[in-house]
Amino acid sequence: MTYKTLLFDVDDTILDFQDTEHEALMALFAEQGLTMDLEMKQTYQEVNHRLWQQFEQGKLSRDQVVNERFGLFFKKYGRIVDSEAMEKHYRSYLDQGHKLLGNSQLVLAELADKFDLYVVTNGVSKTQYRRLSDAKLMPYFQDIFVSEDTGYQKPMKEFFTYVFDRIPNFEQQKTVIIGDSLSSDILGGHLSGIDTIWLNPNKKVASTVLPTYEIQSLDQLPSLLKS
């Protein structure tokens, strides 16, 4: 394969969002006098995942997702909270999380010498910029594309058109997206006509859309791109 442009998702692709989310939720719940247990965490993740799926489908705005999720979550426990205020507190904790996923920094450093690297993420702009900066990953990327700034989101074709229009000398057939989400990264790549590499550490079965390639760890990416 001969690629020139690599599009990277952020959360659970190059940064460990699972760790960041856990720490942020622990701190937020502690503010409320609660100790987060596994059942509470799973319930929150179910609510959050459902809302972000609706965002990907264009049914909800980003603001609706982040400003409503804690209200919906705590309602399940019979508590009425100021959901927007709680989101601001959660966001302040989330912004601080920048743990690298595996050897992502070493992998990016190696690839940046051979390819043009870009970020494509559905996250919140301020949060993603800070986390990438704190993780010292910004120098490896030519540009950062966040759904909040583009007006569209993965997997929408319009998001990728926005990105493609802003990449100098863009060549569609020489571009590939790398990400952990079938519903946003892999489907988005499919809809926009570029190859896809699915980061699938848990060896899940691709039931909705098939990736062009599949890896279990980012460490496998450099050798795959050489083949």
Contact 201, 181 (CB under 8 A): no
Please confirm, yes or no, whether 9 is among the known catalytic residues. yes
User: Active-site residue among 9, 95, 180, 195?
Assistant: 9
Instruction: Give residue 127's identity as a one-letter amino acid code.
Output: T
- Sign of torsion over alpha carbons 227, 164, 8, 107: positive
Q: Could you report how far apart the first and last alpha carbons of the chain are, in Å?
A: 6
Which position has the token pair 């590499």?
Answer: 197
Residue 107 backbone dihedrals phi, psi, to 5 degrees: -65, -45
Contact 40, 26 (CB under 8 A): no
Structure tokens at 207: 């039931």
Q: Catalytic site residues?
A: 9
